[in-house]
Amino acid sequence: MNFAPFERFILDKITETRLPGLSAAIVEGDQVIWSRGFGFRNLEQGLAATPHSLYSIGSVTKSFTCLAIMQLAEAGKLSIDDPVDKYFPFDIQPGGEKVRISHFMSHTSGLPALAYAENVIGGVIGAHESWFPISTADDLLTFMQDAGDWVVTKPGERWFYLNEGYALLGAIIEKASGQSYIDYVQRHILGPLGMTRSLFRKGEVENDQDVAVPYVNWATGSRIPSTYAYGTIQADGGLVSNVLDLAKYISMYLSRGKGNGTQLLSTGGIAEMETKRVATPVKESPFGDEGYGYGLGVRSNFLGHKLIGHGGSVGVATAYLGYLPDKNLGVAILTNGSGFPTGQFGMYGLALALGEDPEQLPFIKRARLLKELEGTYETYKGTMQLQVKGAGDLLIVEDKDKYSTNTTPLIPISLDEQTRLFYRLESGVKTEAEFQVKDGEVQLIIERYMLRKTGKLVG
C-alpha cells in the first residue's frame, strides 16, 4: 500500500503548526504495515524522530488503566460495580448515590472536571503560576474533600471527563492487586505484550537512547524544551511509549484480548470496554454517534466502520490511538509538542489504509474550504481593504487602519465548493456574509460591501 499521501500530509501539517516531531505506525492484524518518524525528537542535538522514539502518550494511558481493572474483575479481585468507598474514604454521593468503579471508568461520576491534572501539568511546564502539590492518591482525596458541592448529576447520567477519577482508579488497582499501579501494569500488560520500552519512571525514560524531548510550542511558535509531570500523573496519563510498542497494544485489541501469545483479557471483556456507556457532548458529528466506553472512545460511523480510540495531551506532547475492529486496522500517532490534532492524523491514515480518499474526510474538506478564503480583500479600486484569517472552524474579518483594529468572527452556516455562507453576530442580530468562489477568484459580500480577494494575508 502506498502511504506517500499520508507522509506528505503529516509533513505539511507539522510544518504549518510548527510541531518539532512526530512518529506514526499503521497496524494490520499483528503486523506493522507502515511506520515512520518525521522532524526532530531533539532539536538542540539535531536528532531525527524515529518509530522507536519515546513520547508521553497522555490520556491514552486511561485504556491501560481500564484494561487492568477489567483483568482484576475477571480474576475476582474486584467488581466494577463496587462503590469506590470500599477502597478508600470517599464521601461524595451525587444525588445521594454512591460512585462506583464503572462510573470513574466511563467518566460518569456526576462530578465535573476539577482540573487537578491541568493545574499540575501547567505548573510543571511553567504555563502558569498557580500550584497544587498533589503527588499521591491521599493528596488527591484531600484536594477533593469539598468537591461534593460541585456535583452536577447523579452517577451514570452524564459524561464529564474526570482525570481525578482515573487517578483514583490507579489507587483501587493497588488496593485490589497488592502491587503498585506501575508494577501491576508492567507485569500484567506491558511485559506480556513485549512492550519493553513503555515506561513510567523518569530515570528509566531518561536512560533510553531514543527519547523525544517534550517542547512547549503552542503560544509563540517557539519551541522550548520542557518535561513531564513524572510521579504525579500516572493512571490518568503517565505512560511514556513509542508507536511500535503501541502497535502491539492495538494488535491485542484487534485480536480480542490476545497478544504475543497471551490472552490478557477475555473477548467479552474487550467488548465491554468498547461498548458505549454514555454520549459525549459532541453533537451532529460526521462520524455518527460519539460516546465513551471504559477507557476508550467510540465513534459509530467512520467511513462505515466503528472506530475505537483515545487521544492524549500533556501540553508538551500529544497522542492518538485508534482502531477499526471489523477491518483489523489500527493507527498510533505520537508528537513532542502541541499542534495539528493527532486524532485527525490518525483518521487520515486509517482512511488511506481502507482504500478511501482521505481528502474527502469532513474535517479535511472543511479546512480546505476555509483556507481558500483566507487573504486580503479589496473593494472597488482598493478604496477599502479587509483581512480574512482562519481561526479554527471560524473566520475572522479584520478591518485595520493606523488608529484602530476591528475584528468580526464569521461562523459557518454552509460550505460547498462555490458558495460559502457565514453569519456574524452584532448586538444580538445575525447578518450573513457570503463568499463566492469561481474560476480561481473569490469575492465576499458583507453588509453593503462587495470585495474581491486580491492577495495573501498581510503580516
Tell me, what's the pLDDT at 131? Answer: 85
What are 333's strand-pairing partners?
A: 24, 320
Average pLDDT over residues 47-71: 98
Judge if 75 and 198 occupy the same domain.
yes
Tell me, what's the pLDDT at 459? Answer: 61
Judge if 272 and 142 occupy the same domain.
yes
Judge if 392 and 409 occupy the same domain.
yes
Judge if 320 and 430 occupy the same domain.
no
Query: How far apart (Å, rounded) are the C-alpha atoms in residues 262 and 257?
Result: 8
Tell me, what's the pLDDT at 301? Answer: 97
Residue 19 near residue 217, CB atoms below 8 Å: yes
Query: How far apart (Å, rounded) are the C-alpha atoms in residues 266 and 99?
Result: 26
The DSSP symbol for 418 reads S
Under the banding of pLDDT at 50, 70 and 90, the label for residue 401 is confident
Judge if 141 and 225 occupy the same domain.
yes
363, 390, 407 - which closes a domain: 363
Q: Which residue has the higher pLDDT, 146 or 283?
A: 146
Tell me, what's the pLDDT at 402? Answer: 86
Residue 134 near residue 116, CB atoms below 8 Å: yes
Judge if 376 and 260 occupy the same domain.
no
User: Is the pTM of the predicted complex or chain greater than 0.85?
Assistant: yes
Residue 319 CB contacts under 8 Å (≥ 6 apart), including other chains: 55, 56, 57, 58, 59, 60, 311, 312, 313, 332, 333, 334, 335, 342
312, 328, 363 - which closes a domain: 363
Number of H helices, E strands in the chain: 13, 23
304, 328, 363 - which closes a domain: 363
Average pLDDT over residues 134-151: 96
pLDDT of 434 > 60? The answer is yes
Q: What is the CATH number of the domain that holds 428?
A: 2.40.128.210
Tell me, what's the pLDDT at 219? Answer: 56
Judge if 262 and 340 occupy the same domain.
yes
Judge if 359 and 376 occupy the same domain.
no
- The b/e string for 414-438 (b: 16+ C-beta within 10 A; e otherwise) is ebeeeebebebeeeeeeeebebebe
Judge if 441 and 348 occupy the same domain.
no
Judge if 93 and 189 occupy the same domain.
yes
Q: What is the CATH number of the domain that holds 21?
A: 3.40.710.10
Average pLDDT over residues 215-240: 89
Domain of 435? 372-455
Strand segments, DSSP code E, in 282-404 are 290-292, 297-302, 305-313, 318-324, 329-335, 375-378, 385-391, 394-400
Q: Which helix (H) or strand (E) holds 421?
A: strand 419-426
pLDDT in tens, 305-319: 999 999 999 999 999
Domains: count for the chain? 2
Tell me, what's the pLDDT at 417? Answer: 94
Tell me, what's the pLDDT at 67? Answer: 99
Would you tell me how many other CB atoms lie within 10 Å of the CB of residue 45?
8
